[in-house]
Structure 1
Amino acid sequence: MTETLSTENGRTVLRMQRELRHPVEKVWRAITEPGQLSGWFPAAVELDLRLDGAVTFTFEDDPDAPVEEHGSGVIRAYEPPRLIEYTWGVEVLRWELVPSAEGCTLHLTATYDDRPGSASFTSGWTLCFDALDHVLGGSAVPEKDYAELHEHFVKVYGLDRGAVDDDGGIRFERQLVRPKELVWQLLAGAATATAGSTPPAGFVAKGIDPGTVTEAAEPERLTYTWSQGEVGWTLRDGNGGARLVLTQTGPAAAYLDAWRDLIEALAAELVTRDVKP
């Protein structure tokens, strides 16, 4: 498996490839026929296999929901048995098959806007490709842990790095692998965050002298003052877990490394935590 991440025409482009010991025609059926797609693709798919044909996606966790709540698309390129490209909402998925001496090489190009979600997408497709190989009759693949894969790709792609704004403030956007309720629990510990109080220590990076909490809405938002501005934590549901956005206004560039250390320690702890049903 190889993976690359780039930015092209203002959008994020993820490229992945997988060597398969199966002929092109066999793999083509597995990536275009609903009966075979159901064994490895992350959603149930129906495709009108022609140029400009419709594509619909339905998720098993809520099969009765309206199609528009799940996603739909259109086939933009169709050259059987080697190429199919279609949209999934605003995302574009391009699948290409190239014959090889031992079978074929599957190339996936995914184009989307959510760069911070790239580790989630790569991890998900990696597990899907393992399942695809199994559907095709390939050898058993050792089970990989999604959370560990996710954190690996965060580092590979540099998604653990924050950014300094033009005005000197900083911002982190980080996908995590567990729900926001558990994230908040680990950050707050036994403390309760309320307006007017000092923020729980888990929400404060090394070197910052915090002021008082100005907004607290467990488990989604915490805002507090510091000597030269404001620190804001936001947690929302993301792909595979909570999406964290951390901002600090004022001349905050000097705290970039401290925030990165805090967030990465949190992310590492989350990998070890099981989510109880």
Structure 2
Amino acid sequence: MSEAETRTVTVEREIAHPAERIWRALTQPQLIAEWLMANDFAPVVGHRFGLNAEWGDLACEVLEVEPGRTLAYTWTGLGLDSVVTWTLTPVAGGTHLRMVQTGFLPEQKLAYHGARAGWPRYLDRLEAVLAALD
């Protein structure tokens, strides 16, 4: 299936924290658990990990790691086979954070709309975790 036949969810924010702090929250398992889901993540290309929530479990694999800049991993479960990519770009006063989840098939309306509603809430929680970091 071509990219034109799939849908993408993109969420972007300017966050008043340095990229290094955001990177910690995106890659340290105990911090990921605070804002996203329980996990056994490691920022190593090829590492397979799980994300576990009350609504289901996801099987994931790290695809790309560029410390402080880019992180990508598969997000597979509940009939969805997608890729989540995080991009961090330093800006005046903090970091521009971009999250893109690709791979929603046209018939996966529930998953697509769930992601559109869910990611902004996850990013709100991420910002709360960042504010509490040393």
Counterpart among 104, 113, 117 of residue 119 in structure 1: 113
Aligned to 2:92: 101
User: Looking at both structures, which has the greater relative contact order when contacts are Cα pairs under 8 Å and sequence separation is at least 6?
Assistant: 2
Tell me by how many angstroms 1:48 deviates.
2.7
TM-score by length of 2: 0.83
For 1:71, give the aligned amino acid: L
Say which of 33, 36, 46 aligns to 2:31: 36
Q: Deviations over 1:163-212 (max 9, x none)?
A: xxxxxxxxxxxxxxxxxxxxxxxxxxxxxxxxxxxxxxxxxxxxxxxxxx
Shift of 1:114: 4.4
2:12 aligned with 1:21 = no
Equivalent runs, 1:92-241 vs 2, <5 Å: 92-115=83-106, 116-117=109-110, 118-137=112-131
Report the residue type matching 2:12 in the other structure: Q
SS of structure 2 residue aligned to 1:70: strand
Distance 1:102 1:132 in 2: 18
Partner Cα separation in structure 1 for residue 44 and residue 63 of structure 2: 9
Cα distance in 2 for partners of 1:57, 1:38 equals 9
Structure-2 separation of matches of 1:131 and 1:48: 20
Mapped partners of 1:12, 1:72: distance in 2: 20
- CA distance, structure 2, for counterparts of residue 76 and residue 111 of structure 1: 14
Q: Deviations over 1:212-264 (max 9, x none)?
A: xxxxxxxxxxxxxxxxxxxxxxxxxxxxxxxxxxxxxxxxxxxxxxxxxxxxx
Give 1:76 deviation, angstroms: 0.9
Cα distance in 2 between the residues matched to 1:38 and 1:12: 27
Q: Report the 3-state secondary structure (helix = DSSP H, G, I; strand = E; otherwise coil) of the residue aligned with 1:55.
A: strand
Q: Any gaps of 5 or more consecutive residues in structure 2?
A: none
User: Percent identity between the aligned chains?
Assistant: 27
Q: Distance in 2 between matches of 1:134 and 1:50?
A: 26
- Cα distance in 1 for residues equivalent to 2:64 and 2:46: 8
Alignment partner, residue 71 of structure 1:
58
Corresponding residue SS for 2:131: coil
2:49, 2:105 → 1: CA distance?
22
Go from structure 1 to structure 2 and tell me whether the alpha carbon gap of 1:113 and 1:119 turns closer, same or farther (over 3 Å shift).
closer
1:50 matched to 2:41? The reply is no
Give TM-score, length-normalised by structure 1. Answer: 0.42
CA distance in 2, matches of 1:52, 1:46: 13
Alignment-mate amino acid for residue 103 of structure 2: Y
Partner amino acid, structure 2, of 1:70:
D
Q: Which runs of 4+ in 1 moved over 6 A?
A: none
User: Which residue of 2 is the match for residue 83 of structure 1?
Assistant: 70
Can you give the 5+ residue segments of structure 1 that lack an aligned partner in the other structure? 1-6, 63-68, 139-277
Please state how far the C-alpha of 1:71 moved relative to its aligned partner: 2.1
Please give the residue correspondences for 1:227-266 in structure 2 after superposition, counting only pairs within 5 Å: none
Secondary structure at the counterpart of residue 11 of structure 2: strand
